[in-house]
Structure 1
Amino acid sequence: MLLRHRHAPLVLAALAGLVFALTAPPTNLPWATLLGLSLFHLSLTAEPAQRSRFPGALRGLLFGTAANLVALRFVPGVIVRFTPLPAVVAYLALVLLACAQGLGWALSGTLTRWLSVRQVPPPLAFAVAIFAGTYAPAVFPWTLAGGLTQWPILVQIADIVGERGVAFCWAFICAGVISSLRYRHPPSLVAALAMACVLLRHGLVVPPAVEAARQRAPQARIGLVQPGTEARERWEKGRAEVIVKRLHALTKVSELDGAELTVWPEAAYPYTLSHEARRDDYGAGIVGYGLRGPILAGIILRGPDTSYNSAVLAGGDGSISRSQDKIRLLAFGEHVPFAEEVPWLKKTFARGTGLSPGKQNVILRHGALSMGVLNCFEDTLTGASRDAFRDERGTANVLVNITNDAWFHGSAESVLHEHLSVLRAVELRRDLVRAVNQGPLSLVAATGAIETRSYPAEPGTLLVRPRLLDLPPTLYARHGDVPLLVLAGLVLVFALARARLRRAAS
């Protein structure tokens, strides 16, 4: 009865978004992802699509905006701390950001309704629509699948279909259950239960096999450093030497703990080097006096006309490896969209200009270690992990994320980031180690379980022991989203064909 009220679909869509956001910190409720998604589907099917008072796009936008307003509530604080903008403008920016990130959900709402009119089965229509919505660009790529990683069994299928495929599968299940309950449509329930059985069987069977392979694989000892560098500290006059001494002292602790390699976070080294440099000054450079090395260091490298956010491997002999340059830059953090066309943007977000993206992936190698590096938020992006997994010489046997979360220190961002990173380990079936400035240090096993974790409030280190897996590339590593893109394309062709037949019949 309540669903017959004129504005019920809109209210339900907004409520669904608020429930969906409960998966984010501090509540961290994975089941809220599925409940919110189910309510969203209910809001889209509250009345027949032919008699719709409100477009699916509006319902999707309300859902996405409500969810992002809650999950990204840390954004105004960041804006006030690091820009000259007042609080009222910062909260307006949050609203605009939430609306912008809701556009993907608006696309999903539109496509769900469009496919439903053309008699595509509800579970398949909703799943394809959610899958399509995941391609919408986002400043903070907080996703459906990321909310489920706290229950790793639910995301194990990512090694076959990837993060977007996980979203597709659970959207299919949620829509099937809702359709069966609301319209008493048994085939939808049967299809949903069959999909759930496939996912849960994969989640129960595969992780033990992966863990058995991990136990047979060689082990590395990697020290992760949290230097506690404040967000503005590296730009303060005279602080570079203090930062380096702190990094060297923490590295000494790491090596005394038995680390064969130490990892510094993103841009941790406060001095710049030439992009072409292959030597460093031992003692005065990255590897300080009394340290063995090697050190995988986050560093800004300068080129002739630009700079790069990079990672290099610095050896105890003063050698510096070829750099892995960050390929995907963070909007308003490392580059400012339309900065040249809108000078006000360039002035306001001055810290976010001057970096260029890398052109190709480079795996950093030391002994038995072949490290695919994901810089900053690259470990939240499914395509970035596939790129980092290989170069012209072969594939990585461990993934390394280096991040500077000082910009978001004390907020929910660090935990949201960590939740998303779990998917990279599952997609590629490689252990992932994360060195985060003012954030959690962790080892994510190839099973998706966070095996070791520390969140030091003060500068500190964590020794982790990742397994160096040489498992064959997963189906997702080889083919990415192509299989699901083909399926989505076939569904669209089917819908268009049905529409043409109906027009011909009329």
Structure 2
Amino acid sequence: MEWLADRVILVWGVRRALLAIGAGAIGVLALPPFGFFAAMFVSFTLLVWLIDGAASPPGSGIVRRLWPAFFTGWLFGFGYFVAGLWWLGHALMIDAEQFAWALPLAILGLPAFLAIFYGLAAALARLLWSDGFGRIAALAFGFGLLEWLRSFVFTGFPWNAIGYGMMPTPLMMQSAHLIGMLGVTVLSVFVFAAPALLGTRQGAIPGIGLAILLFGAHLGYGYYALHQPEPAFRADAKAPVVRIVQPNIDQEAKQNTASDRTAIFEQHLALTAAPPREGGKRPDIIVWPETALPFILTDNSDALTRMADVLSDDQILITGAVRAEDMGPGMPPRYYNSIYVIDGKGQIIGAADKVHLVPFGEYVPFESVLENFGIANIVEMPGGFSAAARRGLLTLPSSIRLYPLLCYEIIFPNEMTPDIERADAIVNVTNDAWFGDTPGPYQHFQQARVRAVEYGLPLIRSANSGISALVDARGRVVSGLDLNQDGFIDATLGSVTQSPIGRSSRFLCFWLCLGFMGSIGGISRVGFI
């Protein structure tokens, strides 16, 4: 290991750049659909050694001193995000004639921007760098702080945060309930980087010892949590049977002619009306995916009649749809990406609008300027979508409370409002058909499962082309449909996790983890350890 560490530390020029990019790309093997979490040990061990060798001339100013570390971290991040997000280009090829020109921006431009966060993380760590194990604590501090910033700066995009690499299975997801995904990220970087100490020896015993302790606690708590007895469902409500519909409709068909749209609607109705499988109970709640309705529901009263025809009086349908809001005479309508709740009589009894929109997918930032350059939304909607002012619960007639999240809203761990603590389940509707048979839908599903564990709530997830599932509050799939399957699943909704850990306490735990690592890094930097 010492020989290898020396070779990596001393590598220079193009080979150094390629090694940094490759180190980041290797880490993607820890993410779905691969789930080989050990790849992160290789990735971060190489990063530590590369930062060890990121030296600057003596007497340099602070910017020049930190630049080699920043650039190393940026190259690492660029490799990580290109390898992990290349599939975003698939959405542009749905309408290649209009959007193919933007492929380089999606495949290389976005990763280049996101890599700035990892460059800053490496530079921040370099400020606290030392010869002992404090430097991997400094790296954990830098990545933890910058992953937190990545979750909200410029609207935020915390997709594939490093902590997800430590959570490939339910056993390894449970720590998120205590310290949140961001807390897991902080401690994961320390654990993943610990093997680097074997190559430089200094601080190896305490550093690797602490990493083993953290990793053991991570697995131990996971085993403990998964073997706790399941709590009963709310005393004042019956645990409902939920039918999750996955029609698996090609994205091009969803954007085609009126006849295609009629067929799409009828396909959803047929899956809704299908009898339960042998021995199964009739569903109480039916869930359709995001924008399942290929028209404006309030402009089509016949659609509500057709829904009432296939629903029993006591059944509830939850569906994704585009909602139009009339803004008055001479004004164009305002459109929302929404969820409707419809009862057995075909009446709309509840709705929730998307709060966190996708930039360039559902709206164009600085639209008045960028439209002059031919930049438009990928989703065809005049003027794009509008964002809701706030998010609230969907309360069903049975008194069951659902926390609604549309599409990628579920990847934002700290955007959940306090209302989520009163919910009985999370309902997430999405349309990942935009991304085809790529790692994207698998990554999205893993992050949704972690969110269920984080908040201790079962997850009802309906995705147009998959992955649809009912997930329990511990992140275990109760029943599901894989990618590119069509059909439905019926399953009984489970209970919430009984735990004293709340939303604010979990966020406090993240800051304690961050402070712990920052303190080790700082104390090591001044030479006390």
TM-score normalized by the length of structure 2? 0.83
1:54 CA drift (Å): 5.8
1:442 CA drift (Å): 1.2
One-letter code of the match for 2:175?
I
8 A contact 1:83–1:349 mirrored in 2 = no
8 A contact 1:254–1:461 mirrored in 2 = no
8 A contact 1:42–1:178 mirrored in 2 = yes
The answer to whether structure 1 residue 57 and structure 2 residue 87 are counterparts is no
Alignment counterpart, residue 198 of structure 1, candidates 217, 229, 235: 217
Describe the SS at the equivalent of 2:283: coil
Alignment counterpart, residue 340 of structure 1, candidates 368, 383, 392: 368
Distance 2:322 2:85 in 1: 28
Describe the SS at the equivalent of 2:244: strand
Alignment counterpart, residue 252 of structure 1, candidates 263, 268, 273: 273
Alignment counterpart, residue 386 of structure 2, candidates 345, 356, 360: 356
Alignment counterpart, residue 325 of structure 1, candidates 353, 374, 380: 353
8 A contact 2:94–2:251 mirrored in 1 = no
Distance 1:490 1:28 in 2: 28
The gaps in structure 1 that reach 5 residues or longer are none
Taking a change above 3 Å as real, the CA distance of residues 12 and 458 of structure 1, as seen in their structure-2 partners, is closer
One-letter code of the match for 1:406?
A
Distance 1:213 1:99 in 2: 46
Aligned to 2:406: 375
1:460 CA drift (Å): 1.3
Distance 2:48 2:478 in 1: 35
1:255-294 equivalences under 5 Å are 258-273=282-297, 281=301, 284-285=304-305, 287-292=307-312, 293-294=315-316
Determine what percentage of the aligned residue pairs are the same residue.
21
1:140 CA drift (Å): 7.2
8 A contact 2:320–2:338 mirrored in 1 = yes
Alignment counterpart, residue 229 of structure 1, candidates 234, 237, 249: 249
Taking a change above 3 Å as real, the CA distance of residues 331 and 12 of structure 1, as seen in their structure-2 partners, is same
8 A contact 1:116–1:122 mirrored in 2 = yes
1:428 CA drift (Å): 0.9
Taking a change above 3 Å as real, the CA distance of residues 6 and 459 of structure 1, as seen in their structure-2 partners, is closer
Alignment counterpart, residue 188 of structure 1, candidates 203, 207, 222: 207
Taking a change above 3 Å as real, the CA distance of residues 200 and 50 of structure 1, as seen in their structure-2 partners, is farther
8 A contact 2:66–2:123 mirrored in 1 = no
Taking a change above 3 Å as real, the CA distance of residues 181 and 286 of structure 1, as seen in their structure-2 partners, is farther
Alignment counterpart, residue 43 of structure 1, candidates 50, 69, 74: 50
1:263 CA drift (Å): 0.1
8 A contact 2:361–2:377 mirrored in 1 = no
Describe the SS at the equivalent of 2:38: helix
The answer to whether structure 1 residue 126 and structure 2 residue 129 are counterparts is no
1:361 CA drift (Å): 1.9
Distance 2:393 2:192 in 1: 39
Q: Paired residues, what number? A: 491
Taking a change above 3 Å as real, the CA distance of residues 196 and 456 of structure 1, as seen in their structure-2 partners, is closer
Taking a change above 3 Å as real, the CA distance of residues 478 and 495 of structure 1, as seen in their structure-2 partners, is closer
Alignment counterpart, residue 390 of structure 1, candidates 401, 419, 433: 419
8 A contact 1:115–1:125 mirrored in 2 = yes
Taking a change above 3 Å as real, the CA distance of residues 288 and 202 of structure 1, as seen in their structure-2 partners, is same
Describe the SS at the equivalent of 2:367: coil
Say what the alpha-carbon RMSD is for the aligned residues: 3.3
The answer to whether structure 1 residue 481 and structure 2 residue 507 are counterparts is yes
1:155 CA drift (Å): 2.7
Taking a change above 3 Å as real, the CA distance of residues 79 and 464 of structure 1, as seen in their structure-2 partners, is same
TM-score normalized by the length of structure 1? 0.86
The answer to whether structure 1 residue 149 and structure 2 residue 179 are counterparts is no
